[in-house]
């Protein structure tokens, strides 16, 4: 029996690892390609902004409607929208690229909520698999893009098109629910709902007949969704109240970590450059650095490597104090700003180590936040919390994008006056 359960958990882990990889890989590829999409003279945060606003918008509004959309419908939508978006990103026209980024971002945000909520039904194996998969997406996306464009010299357009095939892997969801059905959880969910109704109405159960759909995906049946006296106003009020309870312990620390790390990734790292001219080149400069855009892409790969490692091992090294990660990431931000402004560290490997460490902290913050939710939030509220707290990371990225639109150009202008014009060179 133990062997069967372990085998089942392994299968679930693999499914969610693949889902995490596919859902996040396009987001990572787009950020890795930011320097190729907008060129050296426009701030990379422009791409970050287009890549995060749609995702954030979806996450902000989803708690109010997502319970009514079956999983099967969501999966098909994810495939169509993400494939179309990546195709448009590969086009040469900047406007079409931005539209494609918006579509891919919408799909990524919707997918994150969907699969995080789905982990509620498959427990720890699913969340650990999802977290590791999203970390793997960073490594696969940034590393793959670096391999295709910097090493194999494959054209940018073809490289981006190759990644557009990956979303069809979401069809594995159909095999997941066939192998490990979740329909049998309807009865347990309904029992909890009726119990809550009984407590809230002094023993009077709802008078209407409540039917459970057969052969359908779980749709997050809640008190509001089935109550005969349900009103939209009450639903909004209760949803906002539930969100408020999540802000201090989970959302605020996650937002701050993502704010600092994406300021580093998109606004500061494009200016953490080193001379590549043969007469100025340092003997410690990595062989991968042939162009200045190669430095940016390499930073992205190192960051994602750190994310992958921490998201894959956090269940072994648990951390309850989420604000500690916020503090440590803020120190990384300060160090990166000082390096960009004063250029005191001449050895690229030290900065590359800092970027890797930054990724470790970011990945640890993400997975520990959701593991803490599984451990600390009562079961009847866990599903809602898992989907809603994902607002926090996107909000942090959004703030970083807004600040980065001014921060990167300011750093670049200072470097030019300081005799370091590399930030405007290819």
More reliable by pLDDT, 381 or 184: 381
Q: How confident is the model at residue 304 (pLDDT cuts 50, 70, 90)?
A: confident
Q: How confident is the model at residue 322 (pLDDT cuts 50, 70, 90)?
A: very high
SS3 278: coil
Burial 229-238 (b: 16+ CB within 10 A, else e): eeeeeebeee
The string of pLDDT tens digits covering residues 273-282 is 988 876 656 6
Query: For 17-32, what is the mean pLDDT?
Result: 89
CA nearest to 347, candidates 414, 268, 264, 281: 281
Pick the CATH number of 2-182+228-424 from 1.10.3720.10, 1.20.1250.20, 3.90.950.10, 1.10.1370.30: 1.20.1250.20
**According to CATH, where is 1.20.1250.20 located in the chain?**
2-182+228-424
Alpha carbons within 13 A on the beta-carbon side of 332:
32
Q: How confident is the model at residue 5 (pLDDT cuts 50, 70, 90)?
A: low
pLDDT at 52 over 90: no
The string of pLDDT tens digits covering residues 117-160 is 888 888 778 988 998 998 888 888 888 888 888 788 888 889 88
Q: What is the 3-state secondary structure (H, E, C) of 364-394?
A: HHHHHHHHHHHHHCCHHHHHHHHHHCHHHHH
Query: Which residue has tokens 């200045």?
Result: 292
Angle, alpha carbons 53-89-96 (nearest 5°): 80
Q: Are 94 and 37 in contact (CB under 8 A)?
A: yes
Indicate left, alpha or beta for 154 from its phi (over 0: left) and psi (-120 to 50: alpha): beta
């Amino acid at each position: 029996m133990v062997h069967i359960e372990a085998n089942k958990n392994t299968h679930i882990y693999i499914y969610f690892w693949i889902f995490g990889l596919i859902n996040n890989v396009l987001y990572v590829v787009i950020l890795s390609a930011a320097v190729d999409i907008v060129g050296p003279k426009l701030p990379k945060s422009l791409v970050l902004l287009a890549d995060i606003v749609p995702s954030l918008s979806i996450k902000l509004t989803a708690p109010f409607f997502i319970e009514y959309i079956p999983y099967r419908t969501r999966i098909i939508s994810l495939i169509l929208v993400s494939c179309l978006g990546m195709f448009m990103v590969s086009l040469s026209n900047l406007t079409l690229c931005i539209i494609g980024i918006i579509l891919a971002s919408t799909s990524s945000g919707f997918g994150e909520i969907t699969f995080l909520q789905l982990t509620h039904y498959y427990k720890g194996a699913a969340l650990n698999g999802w977290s590791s998969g999203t970390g793997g997406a960073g490594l696969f996306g940034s590393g793959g893009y670096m391999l295709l464009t910097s090493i194999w010299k494959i054209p940018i357009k073809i490289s981006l098109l190759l990644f557009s095939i990956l979303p069809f892997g979401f069809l594995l969801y159909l095999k997941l629910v066939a192998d490990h059905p979740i329909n049998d959880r309807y009865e347990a969910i309904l029992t909890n709902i009726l119990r809550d109704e009984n407590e809230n109405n002094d023993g009077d159960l709802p008078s209407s007949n409540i039917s459970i759909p057969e052969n359908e995906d779980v749709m997050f049946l809640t008190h509001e969704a089935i109550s005969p006296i349900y009103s939209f106003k009450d639903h909004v009020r209760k949803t906002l109240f539930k969100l408020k309870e999540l802000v201090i312990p989970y959302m605020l620390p996650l937002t701050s970590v993502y704010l600092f790390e994406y300021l580093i990734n998109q606004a500061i790292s494009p200016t953490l450059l080193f001379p590549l001219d043969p007469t100025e080149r340092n003997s410690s400069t990595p062989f991968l650095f042939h162009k200045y855009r190669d430095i940016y892409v390499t930073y992205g790969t190192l960051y994602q490597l750190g994310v992958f490692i921490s998201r894959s091992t956090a269940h072994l090294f648990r951390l309850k104090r989420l604000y500690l990660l916020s503090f440590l990431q803020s120190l990384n931000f300060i160090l990166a700003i000082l390096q960009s402004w004063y250029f005191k560290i001449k050895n690229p490997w030290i900065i590359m180590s800092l970027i890797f460490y930054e990724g470790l902290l970011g990945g640890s913050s993400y997975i520990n936040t959701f593991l803490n939710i599984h451990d600390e939030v009562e079961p009847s509220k866990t599903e809602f919390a898992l989907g809603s707290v994902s607002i926090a990371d996107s909000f942090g990225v959004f703030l970083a994008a807004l600040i980065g639109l001014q921060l990167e150009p300011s750093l670049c202008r200072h470097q030019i006056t300081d005799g370091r014009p590399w930030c405007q060179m290819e």
